[in-house]
Chain A
């Protein structure tokens, strides 16, 4: 088991180095050097430019600069935002809980609806229920979520007035940020009004972000269940007189869940992609929104640092999924 874990961890080292190389290259591939970008429209006299280049260490050979960059990254120094002058890592840390909170509820929704829908489609195969589930999930899978989010706002916020249009909590509430998770913080402060406001702000963004994972999970659960239901041991369980429900829940579902869990883990990248769009539309103060602002205002340290941090998170989550998979399924471990 230890050998398996070490082997998997060793595999991500080159991937991580590659990501740092990509982030490093990002700054150097942008037309114009960072000093030029700093100077703006007015330009800068050549002597000052050379002095600044030297000051930033940008006149050294690229490999030296790269090693320097990796060293800084390992020390947790990702530079400072050009617009707010705050350290990038600190900005990310304050905003990330908002994204996690949103992604968590989106995933919760996706699993809570996707799993039963997939199971239902599999056991009622080729019935109206199956076609409905598959049709809806293919539509959900093809959905441009930025448009879907707008439709949700149009219907629930504008027409019905049930939910707020954007933001994370109504302005009148002032909750001390302790964990960064709004629901936890409002509960800890014992402020029910604020908690309800935070919850109502979460609903539409979670639906928008959860739609594609929901569709993927429903499709995956259906096909995994169909595969397992064909197995001999399922027929044997039925033949020895067990009830259909018991066979489905106890025998089939347990084995069907393995690929489904992997798929759930692999949705993290998709969730973060979707979070960029969802956060932009709902003005949700998370890392996706922050990153888009960074791109639009050419705040390159933010873009570079944000990409590096998000890629690191995706790599780590994939590693965890991989390891869990190995724990659940010994055949993988010894492969």
Chain B
């Protein structure tokens, strides 16, 4: 949300009575879906931060006498609200700690890809010529591969694991930011304020990153929010395929993979981790849609 606030002065032109932040909030709050998404996202962030205090059990502790115990309302042990998994770990606690992992994966991979994407995109859009051609062709190659396939290729090189999965997802997301940034920079570059900044003696780096870039942030913020949800989804998919987080980490995708063999006997070990992924991804997609409507007046309903 910090990024959003920073960009607002740039997006909303001129001083107004309401103030840019209030105005943005009004636009954002127009959509009930966006508000629901924001509320869920805030709740998830709190859950991730206070996982240690909120989780009733350790995510790793195995209660061997209570393996595959059903959820409390289905006659299971009341100490384990959502039941236990095949080795007797509390599913609720694992899900709560899993929030931490998923949000961290989203945050880190989006941060990495956003920084690379912005730098490459600004350079491509500002310098044009063969630099631009090289960068954009490279991005075309990356976009030619289906996202999950590219991530799998990267993991095949780096080896499976949570950190490598984050790198893989970051790499997959880069081309989207490069394209957006380049397009925005090309549009802004011809404006008068850029020219006046150059006349005032600003060097190319200053013009690129401190004059032009702040005016290109709106689409990037929207894309970053949507990238957050696709990062979480892809990380879960990699975890599910055994290429991401490794056991015993309480990552949602790998929890699902562990649960596969018990699907007929204990449906709850499958239901809840997937529901957690869905709700999280949905929340960030709702926020992304809301931000787009609020930040991009052309697409406003």
Asked if A58 is at the interface of the complex by the 8 Å CB criterion, the answer is: no
Neighbouring A residues of B69 by C-beta, 8 Å: none
Tell whether B152 is near chain A: CB-to-CB under 8 Å: yes
Given A146-B237, A147-B278, A150-B263, A26 and B146 touching (CB < 8 A)? Answer: no
B148 contacts A144, C-beta separation under 8 Å: no
B245 at the interface (CB under 8 A from A): no
Is A146's CB under 8 angstroms from B146's CB?
Answer: no
Contact for A276 among B148, B281, B282, CB less than 8 A: B148
User: Which chain B positions have C-beta within 8 A of A141?
Assistant: 285
From B3-11, B135-143, B199-207, the one touching the partner chain is B135-143
Q: A158-B263, A303-B153 are in contact. Are A143 and B278 (CB under 8 A)?
A: yes
Instruction: Give the complex CA separation of A22 and B152 in angstroms.
Output: 13
Q: Mark B264-277, 1 if CB is under 8 A from A, else 0.
A: 10010011011001
Q: Which residue of chain B is the closest to A134 with respect to CB atoms?
A: B33
Q: Do the beta carbons of A292 and B278 come within 8 Å of each other?
A: no
- In the bound complex, do residue A26 and residue B157 qualify as a contact, i.e. CB atoms below 8 Å apart? yes
A296 close to chain B: CB less than 8 A: yes
What residues of A have a CB within 8 angstroms of the CB of B267 in the complex?
154
Given contacts A18-B141, A19-B144, A277-B240, contact A147 B277 (CB under 8 A): yes
* Stretch of A71-79, A167-175, A200-208, A310-318 lying at the B interface: A310-318
A292 touching B152, Cβ below 8 Å: yes
State A273–B145 Cα separation when bound (angstroms). Answer: 9
B156 at the interface (CB under 8 A from A): yes
CB–CB B140/A269 < 8 A: no
User: Taking chain A's interface residues, is the majority helix, strand, or loop, or is none over half, making it mixed?
Assistant: helix
Report the minimum CB–CB distance from B239 to chain A (whole Å).
Answer: 10
Within 8 A of B (CB), among A130-184: 135, 138-139, 141-144, 146-148, 150-151, 153-154, 158
Residues of B within 8 A of A31 (CB): 159
> Within 8 Å of chain B (Cβ to Cβ): is A110?
no
Cβ of B148 and Cβ of A150 under 8 Å apart? no
A31 to B278, CA, bound (A): 36
**Cβ 8 A contact of B146, one of A143, A147, A314:** A314
With the chains together, A2 CA to B83 CA distance in Å? 65
CA distance A146 to B234 in the complex (A): 11
- A-B contacts counted at CB < 8 A amount to 125
Interface size class of A (residues with CB under 8 A): 35 or more
Chain A: minimal CB distance from B216 (Å): 23
Instruction: Name the A residues within 8 Å of B236 (CB-CB).
Output: 144, 146
How many whole Å from B223's CB to the nearest CB in chain A? 15
Quick one: which of B149, B159, B260 contacts A272, CB cutoff 8 A? B149
Residue on B with the closest CB to A135?
Answer: B33
**Given the contacts A19-B144, A311-B144, A146 and B149 also touching, CB distance less than 8 Å:** no
Interface assignment of B241: CB less than 8 Å from any CB of chain A: yes
Set of chain B residues within 8 Å of A139, measured between Cβ atoms: 278, 282
Per-position binary interface string of chain A over residues 222-261, scored 1 when its CB falls under 8 Å from any chain B CB and 0 otherwise? 0000000000000000000000000000000000000000
Asked if A144 contacts B281 (CB within 8 A), the reply is yes
Do A30 and B144 have beta carbons less than 8 Å apart?
no
A150 to B269, CA, bound (A): 11
CA of A22 to CA of B153 in the docked complex: distance in angstroms? 9
Residues in A with CB closer than 8 Å to B33 are: 135, 138
A221 in contact (CB, < 8 A): no
A29 touches B144 (CB 8 A): no
Interchain residue pairs with CB less than 8 A apart (26): A15-B144, A18-B138, A18-B144, A19-B145, A30-B157, A135-B33, A138-B33, A142-B278, A144-B277, A144-B281, A147-B277, A147-B278, A150-B260, A153-B263, A154-B270, A158-B264, A269-B144, A273-B149, A276-B148, A277-B241, A291-B152, A292-B152, A292-B241, A303-B153, A311-B145, A314-B145
Given contacts A14-B140, A314-B144, 8 further A-B contacts (CB under 8 A): A22-B153, A142-B285, A144-B281, A146-B236, A146-B240, A272-B149, A276-B152, A295-B152
Question: Interface residues, chain B, CB within 8 Å of chain A?
Answer: 33, 137-138, 140-141, 144-149, 152-153, 155-157, 159, 229, 233, 236-237, 240-243, 253, 256, 260, 263-264, 267, 270-271, 273-274, 277-278, 281-282, 285-286, 289
